[in-house]
Amino acid sequence: MLGGDAHMSGLGFVEIPGTVSSNTAGSIAFLRSAGIGITYSGLRLETSGEGEKNVMHYYSLPCIKGATTLPKSFAFGFHLQKNMDFNSNFIANSDSVNGIVYREEFSKKGQLTLGNIEIAKRIGDKIGMGLSLNVLFGGAEEIWITNFADTLFRDTRDSLKSSYLGSSYGFGIVFDFEPLRLNCGYDLPIVCKRVTKSLSYIHHDTTLSEDEVEFPMLFALGSDLAIGNDFNLLFTLRYRNWSGFRINGQEKDDFFDVLSYGVGFEYKRSRGYKGRSIPLRLGYFHKPWYFKDLSESSIVDDGVTLGIAIPVLRKDGYLDVAFIAGRRKTSTIEEHFYSVHIGFNFYERW
């Protein structure tokens, strides 16, 4: 219930960019046999500023997960989730220096992915506990291009490539006391090795550097309250101390801690295939960013989610469809994002 795939975002919360894990360690302890979940997403991003509007589209598989039960109430699972996107592409208006007219282009592509391998155990029928190994990997490429109008000057092109690899552990506990279910999760800081390669296409020179990057811990709390047989009320709270982000042991002075939340409402009375429930979901999320814009204004994501789970197969299979609409606004720029998540979840309970 901590956001990320189509089913969970429909419950009321998705983070852009996502944080460490959409599955609190310990949840798979309640799996009944075996399960798998795959989500496909499409995002439309509209950026407005200084009288101009830019529209971009992104498509990806942000979440793949699977798990199976083991003897003596144990369960084993894996989870791959896109953790952070690096997607930028803009062309600056033409400018001039000493009468030399030029135009600049910038693009940045890449992503960080978090992989979780988890072992969990159910204690009785009400409590599940889990331990996960978290591996963060991925990278990004930045490209700067300067085009000169005067043919006497040669256009320039420079690039910066970076790769990340690091690991940590996560802990979680789930209390399933009807009609209330509580999830608590804690992820230790992830220490990564970052390798950066800089290349100048004009001078044909390359520089290589290695840094130690520490991503801060994450604490998450989720609750699911059943109201009668037809309704569920959900709440998610996340805290991450971005002020503890470090590069080579040095903290970033302009990063600050983030407390985000989401609320969701689920209606379960609608019926479909073989009389099975078709949950209808509505949610709202509030997610501040961990840094400010150039004018020292706060950046906050606010949005709503709509979701439906359509039963498929003979038992316990669902096709989840969720729509997310949100806004990100600062003193200089405004962005609207719209995304559709389509996910297949077999044995959805976990």
**Beta partners for 327?**
302, 336
Query: What tens digit of pLDDT does each residue of 35-61 get?
Result: 888 888 888 888 876 667 778 888 888
The pLDDT value given to residue 269: 79
Residues 6+ positions from 44 with CB-CB distance below 8 Å: 55, 56, 57, 337, 338, 339
Query: What tens digit of pLDDT does each residue of 312-324 get?
Result: 866 667 788 888 8
Collapsing DSSP to helix, strand or coil, 7 comes out as: helix
Burial of residue 170 (number of CB atoms within 10 Å: 0-12, 13-18, 19+): buried
What is the arithmetic mean of pLDDT over 225-229?
Answer: 87
Give the CATH superfamily of 6-32+58-304.
Outer membrane protein transport protein (OMPP1/FadL/TodX) (2.40.160.60)
The pLDDT value given to residue 150: 76
| Cα–Cα distance, 159 to 141 (Å, whole number) | 7
Query: What tens digit of pLDDT does each residue of 232-267 get?
Result: 888 888 899 999 899 999 988 888 999 988 888 888
Q: pTM here?
A: 0.81
Nearest Cα neighbor of 260 from 20, 54, 63 is 20
**Beta partners for 193?**
165, 212
Nearest Cα neighbor of 164 from 77, 251, 86, 261 is 86
**Greater confidence, 45 or 15?**
45
Domain ranges of the chain: 6-32+58-304
| Cα–Cα distance, 343 to 323 (Å, whole number) | 12
343 close to 38: Cβ distance less than 8 angstroms = yes
Residue 225 has pLDDT above 80, yes or no: yes
Residue 16 has pLDDT above 70, yes or no: no
**Beta partners for 120?**
75, 130
- Mean pLDDT computed over every residue of the chain: 81
The pLDDT value given to residue 95: 80
Per-residue b/e over 86-113, b at no fewer than 16 CB within 10 Å?
bbeeeeeeeeeeeeeebeeeebbebbbe
Query: What tens digit of pLDDT does each residue of 80-108 get?
Result: 888 777 777 777 777 887 778 888 888 88
The pLDDT value given to residue 189: 93
Nearest Cα neighbor of 171 from 191, 156, 188 is 188
Handedness of CA 62, 165, 219, 122 (dihedral sign): positive
List Cα–Cα distances, 284 to 14, 280, 311, in angstroms: 9, 14, 24
